[in-house]
Structure 1
Amino acid sequence: MASTAGASPEPGTTAMVVDDVVNGSEAERTQAARADVQRFRDVTLDILRRSTCLDIIPDSGKVVVFDSELPIKHAFFGLVEHDIKCAPVWDSRTCDYSGMITVTDFNAILLHFYDSAEFRQSTDKFALKLGEYTVRQWNELKRGDTPLPRPKLFFTLPEDSLLDGVRVLVVRNIHRLPVMQLSPENVILCINNLQRILRFILHHIEARGQSSLLERIRVGDLPVGSFGDGCARISGSMTLIEVLKLLKRSRTPAVAIVDQQGRYVDAYSRSDVRYLAVDMTHDKFEKPIIDIVSMRENRMLTVTRRTTLDRMFSSLLSSRKHACIVLDDDRVVLGILSLSDVFQFFLENDLQPPNT
């Protein structure tokens, strides 16, 4: 097996390229890969069924919780400061959790206020506007006059199976799920995500002596991901505000920035939106997206169809990414593959969500 991995700090380059070359007859390898993929799926489901959400709670750690009366601006400063992408919201009026605030909310907030008079007139006034709105007021504004129920916090109990937890994440299309202890009072023990669950699965696969499965299976062997028209591609000249609107319209975790030949240049992900809280000016929203990503250090992971799963998973976990861009040998963008796609494949015949 040969592999290459490289990183470049130069603008317009990828953070990491992971590739593996596996020798042998392609037809024979493809047939064997189908069997390996099914074994990998069976082993994973067995681990998820046998494990509980309690098993994945770390021995130590912290859960950042925001009060519903916290100004929106401070909430997103908090996400950046703690290097997290979401936080549970505690409603002091009802003495209960009312939901989560996420980077998706921040994207929606920016788009909502973008055309406001406060934003157009002065960046300072726009920042002041964000300082006036609390997390609770944003939730009320988001609902408008529709008689929607208050936001619900999806969660699992420590004794729930890990399979139930994954099912909630996949079916509800959410990325983080609190593990809640209800007695003697509601306490969030940890917030699970697919990365943490994947790390747990890989540990148990290794303990079972089956790690070689992941060394044989390639990215192209998995029947998952968004390819062709399902993968959003943009030019580097598209403005930041246009990209934010595109992310709002679609469910993609990131958009690939390509040149005129469709070759990969960089990417902008949903989680990148939170960094706008640190430096938010009117000019920035009109800048080309290529200028925005050139100032960022932690770039998107890229793979090819030949990249083995052990390489891809290891790189996703070490870079704390939830998705990667799939390229061909000429660096043309083929698609995007996320952990949500992979876990949906695990559960494709078992997607009925539990009562949560």
Structure 2
Amino acid sequence: MSPLETHPGVFVVVVNLPPGYHQYKFIVDGEWRHDESQAFMPDPLGNVNNWLFIRRPEPTSPSAEQQQQASARERLEREQGGEETYGVSVQGTEQTTGIVQPLNLAEEMEITKKRVVEFLHTHTAYELIPESGKVVLLDASLPVRQAFHALYEQGIPAAPVWDGTKYAITGMISAGDFIHILRKLRSTSKQNHVLSEGDMDAHTILEWQHESLVETRGPRNLVYVKPEDTLQKVANLLVQTRVALVPLLSGEPDSQPEGQLLLHLATLSGILACLNRHFRASTASLPLLSQPLDRLPVGTWAVPRETSADAPWKLPEQRQILALKLHTPLTEALQLLLEARVSALPVLDDQGSLLDIYARSDIIALARGKTYSQLNWDEVTVAQALTLAHSAAAAKNAADHMQNFGEESMNSMTRACVISRKESLRTAVDRLSIPGVRRLLVVEAGTHHVEAVVSLSDVCAFLFT
């Protein structure tokens, strides 16, 4: 270590590097980071590092110590002097300077999407599998009542179905299926619209699957992914099929049982989390993420917005945001969820201010204490259903504090995640990367009126396609 000339108290460590490419990082406040003003690149493990190329020394080139001191001096002057220019000086290379010009929106979009697509094509679904976790399979011969209770007890909104006669995973059963089941059983119940355990035990998961096939006019292939599939393929599958999660299998569904182990449930939030981890130390490499939400063609907006002159896109027209009131009958709310093909709806007061959300997964809360068999379905309101959902979640958390299942534990689900219209797309991506967060509600600060709904699939469709 030697003192740096003209800067008392600053010392330099000289490291003699052999000719070739070298990668390095800086430790700042206890975290390893890289300098975005210098050249950087990802390594084979996905970490982003700075790099430099050392040429073979020329006979007239300055000593290594002089070069190290000059490089350190330049870096210190940039940090302390706040200069707008930058330079890189390495053995045998000339120092270059230039003013960084701001990018327009078209360039930001091109650069961001290019890097995101490159990331998705070079990383696989294997990276979605956590180091430690659990998977849950439901046997197709289970009565729907037991399946209903199993989802509640495990704290999950959906699970793959295993058919023992075929030795294969044949599909998924989710909260949406239970909404269909409860509505159908309620319409055929002989007990004044009150469901009994006998009604729920009269049908198995397999029978429900067969009835669904008849109603949808034909079988549907199982939607799944494998560990070697690229994240681009997984993302496209989730966006195009509009499903929240897909099984991640070790082999083909029609292969031998030992060749199709269920490894995980792949979700869009898991892919966003991988993207966040990869670019955490180089946020400037995705410049489009710094744009405010109200300038981007993302989400469903009920208020007018302004389009930037250099925007390479056209903002969609305003649309009414579907919402519920506390006095809305639960049967009407469930029907609206199915017809609109959405996973949740905001709940507003009489002034239009946001109070809560009611999601499809909240139907699972009715399994607590066999609540479904004690309700008169014609009289239950959204307010009562929300009370049941909140109390069920609180009781479940207090009982066992169980860990998250995959990406979609109901116990960890945030109720109404809000954001302002001027917050950046990066903030939205960060929040949607949290397991269980499926949508963000854009609210006005003073009135808490809902201005827009930005869903996980909206953001992923914008960034990934």
Normalization by structure 2: what TM-score? Answer: 0.62
**Whole-Å Cα distance in 2 between the matches of residues 31 and 337 of structure 1?**
25
Question: Any idea what SS the aligned residue of 1:326 has?
Answer: strand
Confirm whether residue 198 of structure 1 aligns to residue 288 of structure 2: no
Residues 111 and 286, structure 2, Cα contact 8 Å, conserved in 1? no
**Whole-Å Cα distance in 1 between the matches of residues 200 and 352 of structure 2?**
38
Distance 1:145 1:171, change over 3 A: closer
Could you say which residue in structure 2 is the equivalent of 1:170? 239
Residues 189 and 199, structure 2, Cα contact 8 Å, conserved in 1? no
Could you say which residue in structure 1 is the equivalent of 2:438? 322
Deviation at 1:284, TM superposition (A): 5.7
**Whole-Å Cα distance in 2 between the matches of residues 111 and 232 of structure 1?**
21
Unaligned ranges ≥5, structure 1: 1-29, 349-356
**Whole-Å Cα distance in 1 between the matches of residues 279 and 216 of structure 2?**
48
Q: How many residues align?
A: 316
**Whole-Å Cα distance in 2 between the matches of residues 174 and 88 of structure 1?**
13
Matches within 5 A, 1:237-252: 237-252=327-342
Could you say which residue in structure 1 is the equivalent of 2:218? 148
Deviation at 1:46, TM superposition (A): 1.7
Could you say which residue in structure 1 is the equivalent of 2:164? 92
Residues 225 and 247, structure 2, Cα contact 8 Å, conserved in 1? yes
Residues 193 and 378, structure 2, Cα contact 8 Å, conserved in 1? no
Unaligned ranges ≥5, structure 2: 1-101, 303-318, 391-413
Could you say which residue in structure 2 is the equivalent of 1:41? 113
> Which amino acid is the alignment partner of residue 56 of structure 1?
L
Q: What's the CA shift string for 1:107-165, capped at 9, x where partnerless?
A: 11111112222452644x2x22112211001112223377512x432111211111001
**Whole-Å Cα distance in 2 between the matches of residues 306 and 108 of structure 1?**
39
Distance 1:302 1:309, change over 3 A: same
Deviation at 1:103, TM superposition (A): 1.0
Q: Which has the larger radius of gyration?
A: 2
Residues 186 and 193, structure 2, Cα contact 8 Å, conserved in 1? no
Confirm whether residue 104 of structure 1 aligns to residue 176 of structure 2: yes
Could you say which residue in structure 1 is the equivalent of 2:459? 342
Distance 1:106 1:154, change over 3 A: same
Residues 180 and 187, structure 1, Cα contact 8 Å, conserved in 2? yes
Question: Any idea what SS the aligned residue of 2:298 has?
Answer: coil
32, 56, 68: which is aligned to 2:140? 68
Normalization by structure 1: what TM-score? Answer: 0.80
Residues 56 and 200, structure 1, Cα contact 8 Å, conserved in 2? yes
**Whole-Å Cα distance in 2 between the matches of residues 122 and 294 of structure 1?**
19
Q: What's the CA shift string for 1:13-51, capped at 9, x where partnerless?
A: xxxxxxxxxxxxxxxxx9856654554333322211111
Higher helix fraction: Structure 1 or Structure 2? 1
189, 197, 202: which is aligned to 2:263? 189
**Whole-Å Cα distance in 2 between the matches of residues 300 and 263 of structure 1?**
12
Taking every aligned residue pair, what percent have the same amino acid on both sides? Answer: 27
Deviation at 1:53, TM superposition (A): 1.0
Question: Any idea what SS the aligned residue of 1:60 has?
Answer: coil
Deviation at 1:245, TM superposition (A): 0.7
Distance 1:293 1:37, change over 3 A: farther
